[in-house]
Amino acid sequence: MPSEDLRAYSDIVIDHFQHPRNAGVLDDANAVGEDRNPVCGDHMRLMLRIEDDAIREARFQTRGCPAAIATSSMATVVLTNMHIDDAAALKRQDFVDAVGGLPKAKIHCSVLAAAALKRALTDYRERAGAGRSE
Ligand code: FES
C-alpha cells in the first residue's frame, strides 16, 4: 500500500487505521457483505454474527486506504450489539461522523462500509428466508 500523508485525517481515523478493531475473519458469521470501489479497487468484506436480530459480533477484512480501513474498523465497533433494524437505518454519513469526519476527497471511502453492511443484512435476511419451512 502506498504510504499516505495522515495529517489530513482526524485523530480517530489515525487511531483506527493504525490499530484496527475487529480485523480478521469471523468463522461463525451468518451474514456477510462485500463491496469494492470501482475507481480505486479498494475492497471490504464485513462479517456479522447475528442472534435474536442483534449483531453480537462483527469483523472486517479491508484492503484499502486509511479512510477505508478506519471506517471499516469503526463500523464493527458501532455495529456490535446493535439491533439489525437500527443497523439498516445507518447511512454512509453516520460512519463519516463516527470517525470524526473525513477530508472531502475521502468521503467516498466510507461507501465501502455502508454498502458492505447493506449487503450483509440482505444476506442475513436471505439466509433466514431460506431457512423457513413454510
Ligand atoms: Fe479507495 Fe479510499 S481511496 S476507498
Which tens digit of pLDDT belongs to each residue from 18-56?
Answer: 999 999 999 999 999 999 999 899 999 999 999 999 999
58 in Cβ contact with 48 (< 8 Å): yes
pLDDT of 2 higher than 60: no
- What pLDDT, on the 0 to 100 scale, is given for residue 109? 93
Long-range contacts of 44-48 (CB under 8 A, 24+ apart): 44/68, 44/72, 44/112, 44/113, 44/116, 45/116, 46/72, 46/75, 46/76, 46/113, 46/116, 46/117, 46/119, 46/120, 47/120, 48/79, 48/120, 48/124
Question: 80 versus 4: which is more confidently predicted?
Answer: 80
DSSP 36: E
pLDDT of 59 higher than 90: yes
Q: Which of 40, 63, 104, 107 to mutate to test the pocket of ligand 1 (most atoms within 8 A of CB)?
A: 40
DSSP string, 46-104: EEEEEETTEEEEEEEEEES-HHHHHHHHHHHHHHTT-BHHHHHT--HHHHHHHTT---G
Question: Could you say which of 40, 88, 89, 128 is catalytic?
Answer: 40
> CA 18, 70, 121, 108 torsion: positive or negative?
negative
What the block records as the C-alpha cell of 134 is 413454510
95 in Cβ contact with 63 (< 8 Å): no
| pTM of the shown model | 0.93
pLDDT of 103 higher than 70: yes
Residues with CB under 6 A from ligand 1: 37, 40, 42, 64-65, 67-68, 106, 109, 112
pLDDT of 132 higher than 70: no
